[in-house]
Chain A
């Protein structure tokens, strides 16, 4: 069962996954070039002053990178199911509907998560090239909320796409946007260190929530 769901989800997302992967690589390459350019035209002590005295983020390029990725992967997975009510085909498969939706969601989440991990490792490596390792670790902790925002965006996109009723779609958009807003409340270094795990736990609630619109879809297909 799982292999067939994985196969279907892969067929839907692989092209988009390749595109968003290249997009992520392009943004990270740009970050590298930007930093190299900065170090070429500015004195090192000036950059140090900006980064560690004023608190300028030199890697803000990646703030919205994973949310964009999450939105594209979520749409690639669930929009084709909704066009022409094709989701009914999936709901007739000999699989429990909740398991079907959960596995589909987890597969998408895994795809976004892998890109998020690659982003995080790349960020660590790029910052580590130009700054001391403490700064690279700090960049990772500072960027973690943005990476979690990517996962939340994916789940929010799934929730909104699967929901059949417009009013509820708008409510889910508002809830997802509100939740995302929490991840972007500070531009300071490591400002989410003490609260991030709580936000991450709260974000886990999004995972089972995507089952509800699937059941509602079945009822609303009339």
Chain B
């Protein structure tokens, strides 16, 4: 199967409020996809649609070749879901939750679960409800790994995790998917973590506008240029060349997918005086904020 997730002309509304209109994208097998977007653009809604917890207003959403809203038990067995907040059965203990899930999945790898969970150095009769968010995240990740899913959908895995637990989570995840057979669809508020993890990114904007690209392509194509603010910066505005800009008293920063020469020509054409323009490197987080804006 080439495409693990196929979204075609997806439209979703809450009452009169349109969340997406004609949203389309695909997720290929063996890739790690990061879904990025500011709060309120509908990331969680999209995850819910993919998980089958929400029926879209119109359009097609297929996961592992099946309609996401009517996934068969066999398809669900191949999907590992991490719910926002590391949701788990809190009335269970470390051992009991493993026993329960092992009964559900035929390819269950008990060792994978305990290799992660034993790092917590907690007795196996320790209840999930008495764990910190970070400890619970290890249990949930261990359960997903032991399930051996073909597709992982991780909804904001970083929520509530400190830097150490986030790093541990990522280290295990990167190791788990390194054979290239498994697909990961992930959202996170910690953009810099995704820079080390994802192959492809989907930037989701209000109304369902998206930019789907590989991370490398995006990071090489999207550039930041900086020059001295000499008074003509009030003529800078967003357009097809300048995707965003930041103006301080001393400098002007422009963000664009165009090469330096094209940006310079465009600025000169608009009567903006440019001296000592330089390209400045950006992290994924810088680029994300530059593309989607701070507010």
Contact = CB atoms under 8 A, between A and B. Distances in A.
Interface of A: 1, 3-4, 7-8, 11-12, 80, 83-86, 88-89, 91-96, 218-219, 221-222
Contact of A94 (B77, B90, B91): B77
A96 B73 CA distance: 6
Contacts of A92: 51-52, 76, 79, 81
Contacts of A93: 73, 76, 104
Contacts of A11: 91-92, 96, 100
A92 B87 CA distance: 12
Contacts of B45: 222
A221 B103 contact: no
Nearest to B77: A94
A4 B81 CA distance: 19
9 contacts: A1-B103, A1-B104, A3-B103, A80-B89, A80-B91, A83-B90, A89-B89, A91-B52, A219-B54
A7 B98 CA distance: 12
Contacts of B228: none
B206 interface: no
B88 A89 contact: yes
Given A3-B103, A88-B53, A95-B73, A8 B48 contact: no
Contact of B100 (A8, A83, A94, A95): A8
Interface in B10-68: 14, 45, 48, 51-55
B87 A94 contact: no
B87 A88 contact: yes
Contacts of B51: 88, 92
A181 B183 CA distance: 55
A222 B54 CA distance: 7
A84 B86 CA distance: 11
B87 A89 contact: yes
A80 B73 contact: no
The 3 closest A-B pairs by CB, nearest first: A4-B103, A94-B77, A94-B73
Contacts of B83: 85, 88-89
A221 B53 CA distance: 6
A80 B104 contact: no
Contacts of A94: 73-74, 76-77, 104-105
B262 to A, nearest CB: 43
B85 interface: yes
B124 interface: no
B54 A221 contact: yes
Contacts of B126: none
Could you say which of A11, A80, A84 has the most chain B C-beta atoms within 10 Å of its C-beta?
Answer: A11
Contacts of A83: 90
Given A84-B85, A96-B73, A4 B100 contact: yes
A95 B104 contact: yes
Contact of B89 (A85, A86, A96, A218): A86
Contacts of A96: 73
Contacts of B104: 1, 4, 93-95
A16 to B, nearest CB: 11
Contacts of B87: 84-86, 88-89
Nearest to B55: A219
